[in-house]
Amino acid sequence: MDKVKVSQNVADALDYVTRNFSNKAIIDAHVRNPNGWDMDENKALKGLDLDILIRALYNGYAVEGMAQEQLLEWFKFSIQKFNELKKVDKNQMKDWDKQDVEEHHNEVDYYRIEISVLKQVLTIFEINIEEGVNC
């Protein structure tokens, strides 16, 4: 069976309750009162679907959105690299040979294209791009 995907808050709550209680006790508490999780450490379990809780306890769980966070980090890194490359001006390039200048321009173009593609992917996955990130 596959691990169930849960939010980071639910994963943290499951980590807490499984350190302190048996699976049977957790399920029993949830069946009796699915909205009874009131402590800060476990309130993310409040109203959680029973099927998800049981599968998470017995099959394991993974935090959803990890790939999306990696995409966002990749996007930010690419913008940083692009901005660093754009800061190089003609005065700095005056001692470069033709091949170095061409490689620099190719790298700028590479990051420009990569940023454009990543923006489209982030939009498809509805990942919010932070304000103030310009390229």
pTM over 0.75, yes/no: no
In this prediction, residue 50 has a pLDDT band, given cuts at 50, 70 and 90, of very high
Share of the chain above pLDDT 90, in %: 73
Name the token pair of 126: 């509805």
- Give the model's confidence band at 30: pLDDT under 50 very low, under 70 low, under 90 confident, else very high: very high
The Cα–Cα gap between 73 and 86 comes to 20
Find the mean pLDDT for residues 87-94: 91
Mean pLDDT of 60-79: 85
Q: Do 34 and 65 touch, CB atoms closer than 8 A?
A: no
Close Cβ partners of 43 (under 8 Å, ≥ 6 residues apart) = 13, 37
pLDDT computed for residue 132 by the predictor:
38
Phi and psi (nearest 5°) for 35? -105, 15
Residue 4's DSSP bridge partners are 61
- Residues facing residue 6 across a β-bridge: 63
| Residue 65, CA atoms < 13 Å, CB-side half-sphere | 11
